[in-house]
Chain A
Amino acid sequence: MAATKTTVDITAAMVTEAVPLADWLLVAPVLLTMAGGAISIIFRKKSATQPWIAITTIALVILSNIGLLNHVLTNGVVTMVMGSWLPPFGIAFTADPLGALLALTASVATMCVAVFAMNSIAENERRYGFYPFLLMLLCGVTGSFLTGDIFNLYVWFEVLLISSFGMQILGNEKVQIDGAVKYAVLNLIATTLFLAATGLLYGLVGTLNMADIAGKLKAFDNSGPMLGLATLYFLAFAMKAAAFPVNFWLPASYHTPRLVVAAIFAGLLTKVGVYALLRVMLLLMPEGRDWLASLIGIVAIATMLTGSLGALAQTDIRRLMAYLVIAGIGAMMAGIAVGNEVAVSGAIFYSMHSVLIMTALYLLVAFMFQMSGTFSLREIGGLYIRTPLGAGIGLILLLAVAGLPPFSGFWAKLLLVAGALEAGRGWVAAGILVSGLFTTIAVGRLWIFAFWRGGNEHTVDGIQALPIARSSDAADISWSIWLPLIILTALIFVIGILPETMMSITENGAKTLIDPTAYIGSVFGGIR
């Protein structure tokens, strides 16, 4: 233990040059959310200050993520290795445009949920830790997006999973426990597969650093084990992302938690699975992706179709939304199946769009429930009369999720279809368009039933039914419900009107994924 001066030359093993302050933006989101989570656990009894701790923390995270995205776009891929150890031994945090963009989007969605929850999570439920769990969930999600080490990715998965278990049973109802068990078991199986695949990968290439893996697998002669690993990773992450046929856990569990919780789940969790697929399939194992491309394409189309048809069949609005999440996952996987630059750019665009839109839609469901007191499409109705603004927001959000112009979903689907046609995979493009049509019908039906018609199922056209029990007036809706809805809708609208900036970011992200030179160069020095 004695501090004898060592004469060993450490330059061979450690980072010795000074690290610019801006590189700390890589770890700032994780550190901030962890500290914020810890502080909000210490003050868990003070339920009035809880939201403000969370909102302050998330605001700082958003600022730091904006800085990080800017840093990545101006200076290329950024890497910081923990503890000054040189990669591949030190654990690397590496941000490329994909990770930085998704981290920023996730923090914005979390902020909206944190504000929305001020009103909709009861005071006594805050004591069970809604806000600490929310912060730790964001910690796990941003950690997943920014880490450059595949085992570390597993660790962040665990962080976000454990927080999500806690959030899911908030309320302690029997049906929630039932949903949580399905969710937990399936996700734990997926995580175990992920861990097993990572162990095998380590046995194969002897490294866990993603850049190192990408480089070593490229030089690998025997492709058999690598293809097996790619399949294993594909199954594990497809389960997380809720792709057909391993998606049954999602509709079985997403309608049970509190709606704000479902909003953040639908916004973030499945997208982490998609992100992991993008990262592993495109950056680490492009050969494996080429080999699996047709399978991924079939899975993508089946996911899109089951999602949109499922949405058509539902009468419970919450379940309908769960199927819309699945339909979106299919579209993102279509981008991975096609795998050229345009389609991958579309998949990244869609992930970003999906984080915002799914969060917004679940918040819309919570808002609709507050206005009408029901989740059933048969019972609901007449919301247009009561809240024209709410109906407008609803229309924009529902058209956006169906991918109609001029909203953000349109550009994502445009890129996906263009990419699929360019690669000669017309059937993937057809799948995207057909599923888009079904989704349009499903959401159109939802909007007409909930907002347009005068009352519930039995209302005669042109007549407004008596107010439904438990309904409240638009004037009673607090700002903490309007604000997140309006901000998310505005973002979706603005991205839809001015997609160029976003497209250049996603294109940049796709380039970095498909050609890993910049990524590897950033981790191992040289190209910066």
Chain B
Amino acid sequence: MNTLIFRTVAPYLSALMMLFSVFVLLRGHNEPGGGFIGGLIAVSAFAIYGIACGVSAVRRAMKFHPMSIAASGLLLAVVSVLPSLFFSQPAMTSQWLALPFLGTVIDLSTPLFFDIGVYLVVVGAISSIALSLEERAD
């Protein structure tokens, strides 16, 4: 897959896919999408970048080790379960916070953070597998 066209396009393509994955993640609460599918899209972005430019370039671009990303996602998901503890509600009861921002209202909620956690777990775990498979192939 070492063609010039692919290598030139790949960084832009993966950047677009990353952006799209975040979009899918954020619309997930009320519409099709969410952390899992968003995470998969992000992993495909990393995979495309890896096929074009090599595994080490992907690892540099990710900054953190994939396993650490997955673990921090798991931690975030656990933390997002806790807020209902302080309102004497059962675990995982959603808490909402409407935040006025530049004339519009942003709804922040614990399910959103749980979903971000799922996103990170998927990104970390699957890209960890994909990268080590690609490394083997080299």
Contact = CB atoms under 8 A, between A and B. Distances in A.
Interface of A: 1-3, 15, 18-21, 23-24, 27, 31, 34-35, 37-39, 41-42, 44, 80-84, 90, 132
Nearest to B104: A2
21 contacts: A1-B29, A1-B30, A3-B98, A3-B107, A15-B89, A18-B88, A19-B89, A24-B91, A34-B74, A38-B74, A39-B75, A82-B91, A83-B90, A83-B93, A83-B94, A84-B84, A84-B89, A84-B90, A84-B93, A90-B90, A132-B71
Contacts of A81: 90
Nearest to B74: A38
A128 to B, nearest CB: 11
Nearest to B68: A42
Given A15-B90, A83-B90, A83-B92, A38 B72 contact: yes
A23 B71 CA distance: 27
Interface string B65-95: 0011011101101110110110011111110
Interface string B99-125: 000000101000000000000000000
B120 to A, nearest CB: 10
A37 B67 contact: no
B96 interface: yes
Nearest to A18: B88
B67 A41 contact: yes
Contacts of A18: 88-89
Contacts of A2: 105, 107
Given A1-B107, A3-B107, A80 B90 contact: yes
Interface residues of B, number: 27
Contacts of B70: 41
A64 to B, nearest CB: 13
B78 A31 contact: yes
A24 B77 CA distance: 17
Interface string B26-57: 00011000000000000000000000000000
B129 to A, nearest CB: 13
Contacts, number: 71
Nearest to B97: A3
A211 to B, nearest CB: 16
A84 B81 CA distance: 12
Contacts of B98: 3
Contact of B78 (A38, A42, A90): A38
Given A1-B107, A38-B75, 19 more contacts: A2-B105, A18-B88, A24-B85, A24-B91, A27-B91, A31-B82, A34-B77, A35-B78, A35-B79, A37-B71, A37-B74, A38-B71, A38-B74, A39-B71, A39-B75, A42-B72, A42-B75, A44-B67, A83-B94
Contact of A3 (B75, B77, B92, B105): B105
Contacts of B29: 1
A80 B90 CA distance: 6
A18 B84 CA distance: 11
B81 A31 contact: yes
Contact of A23 (B90, B96, B105): B90
Contacts of A21: 85, 88
A65 to B, nearest CB: 16
B91 A3 contact: no
A41 B107 contact: no
A41 B69 CA distance: 10
